[in-house]
Amino acid sequence: MSIWTGVLPAITTPFNADLSIDHGAVRSHVRWLVSQGCTGIIPCGSLGEGATLTSAEKADLMRTCVEAVKAPVVPGIAALSTDEAVRLARAAADAGCAGLMVLPPYVYSSDWREMKAHVSAVLRATKLPCLLYNNPVAYKTDFTPAQLAELAAEHDNAVAVKESSTDARRVTGIRALLGDRLTLGVGVDDCLVEGVEAGARFWVAGLVNAFPAESVRLLELSLAGKKKEAFELYRWFLPLLRLDTVPKFVQLIKLVQQEVGWGHERVRGPRMELVGAEREECLRVLREALTNRPSL
């Protein structure tokens, strides 16, 4: 079965009180997610606070996930430098990961020549199948359909795209140019139904960390073309899914996880735990969702 199917949680990284990684919590969490129908696990991404993890911590986290579940583990590969990204890609292969989610470099964002060279170096570093991550909102680098086509033409292991531009037309544009060469996935929680309608086949999700059963069901209904049922579930889920689309999405999702019994709101600096009106509004949204939680 293809890796690029179903709901792939971009997992949060749980921390102990001293802010070291809580590997026991990682194991329990990923096993629960898979038991609820998720098809793979994506550690070390933006939601996983990858920018605050050392390379050694990322490698340890990859191994923990691989050992914990039989489902594919597809870590995010992002770094300040191309050399570090290449080392992470090789560490993922050594850890037994099934694929890679390849991000543009942190901080530095420039022209296509440089971005293509960076991504290509990561793709050449391993034979693992790779998911290209387009998120211009967060990374200021926008991989256009034509640029994705260049990468796909030159690298056989470029096989899928996580499209997070927030523009559902991008899915249509990629399909129009590349056909089925790249499998398309939605990477923004509150664009799931629209993305599937345009041709996306999988979902790299965030609120799934707290609501896996609902996430899996929403994707199933969307893929099955059951529009009325999908929209009713989507209507309920949207206030929560929108928590994934703002700068403090990590803190918000971790708080939701804590409140439903699957995590802790601890984050690493420069992030800080939510306080005041922001925290109360998140809890209000969650309380309302739990009060009206649909039966699946």
Which residue is associated with the tokens 């293809």?
A: 2
Distance CA 251, CA 279 (A): 9
Q: Residue ranges of the alpha helices (H) in 40-144?
A: 55-68, 82-95, 112-124, 136-139
Q: Please give the angle made by the CA atoms of 202, 203 and 205, to the nearest 5 degrees.
A: 165
Q: Are 271 and 49 in contact (CB under 8 A)?
A: yes
Q: Which CA distances in Å does 205 have to 19, 184, 191, 226?
A: 24, 14, 10, 20
Angle between helices 249-259 and 276-291 (to 10 degrees): 50
As annotated, the active-site residues are 133, 162
**CA 178 to CA 19: how far, in whole Å?**
43
Can you tell me the distance from the alpha carbon of 277 to that of 290, in angstroms, rounded to the nearest whole number? 20
Q: Which amino acid is at 217?
A: R
204 annotated as belonging to a binding site for a ligand: yes
Q: Binding site for pyruvate: what residues are annotated? A: 204
Q: Binding site: what residues are annotated? A: 204
